[in-house]
């Protein structure tokens, strides 16, 4: 853990930004880099229904472009001497984050929890919980 990169998955929410502070603090403590990961959902659609004005592939490309712009703005705001890498992936958030975390060069995942409870907890996917259960490295879940 002490020599490997810290993974910070983000959805660009305020809660995720709060977790970034912890990721930077941990990276400074261990003098390691941070890898920022954003996962774009793969849109589903059937061109045969003629409902979408654009194809799911075009929509996904547009979402990736918007994520890249947000990532660029985020990097401009970061005031750190740490090595920072960025990744934008397409697919299921949990699967992509776990795959990156278990890829071998990640020492810790710092991920935000949206803090849902009760019925909302059961109605929405809990990405942070799934990552904590499936990742081979330590996972810090920040509320």
Residues 6+ apart with CB under 8 A from 51: 45
**Helix runs in 31-77, H state only:** 56-77
Residue 9 confidence (pLDDT) above 90: yes
Tens of pLDDT, residue by residue over 84-119, are 999 999 999 999 999 999 998 999 999 998 755 444
How many Cα neighbours within 13 Å face the side chain of 5?
20
Please state the pTM of the whole predicted model. 0.81
Tens of pLDDT, residue by residue over 109-118, are 999 987 554 4
Question: Is the CA virtual torsion 89, 90, 95, 99 positive or negative?
Answer: negative
């Amino acid at each position: 853990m002490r020599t490997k990169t810290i993974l910070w998955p983000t959805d660009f929410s305020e809660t995720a930004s709060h977790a970034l502070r912890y990721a930077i603090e941990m990276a400074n403590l261990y003098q390691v880099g941070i890898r920022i990961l954003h996962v774009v959902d793969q849109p589903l659609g059937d061109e045969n229904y003629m409902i979408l004005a654009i194809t799911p592939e075009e929509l996904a490309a547009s979402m990736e472009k918007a994520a890249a712009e947000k990532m660029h703005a985020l990097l401009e705001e970061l005031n750190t001497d740490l090595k920072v890498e960025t990744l934008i992936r397409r697919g299921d958030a949990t699967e992509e984050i776990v795959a990156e975390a278990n890829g071998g060069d990640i020492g810790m995942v710092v991920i935000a929890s949206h803090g849902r409870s009760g019925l909302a907890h059961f109605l929405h996917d809990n990405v942070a919980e799934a990552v904590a259960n499936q990742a081979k490295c330590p996972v810090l879940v920040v509320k």
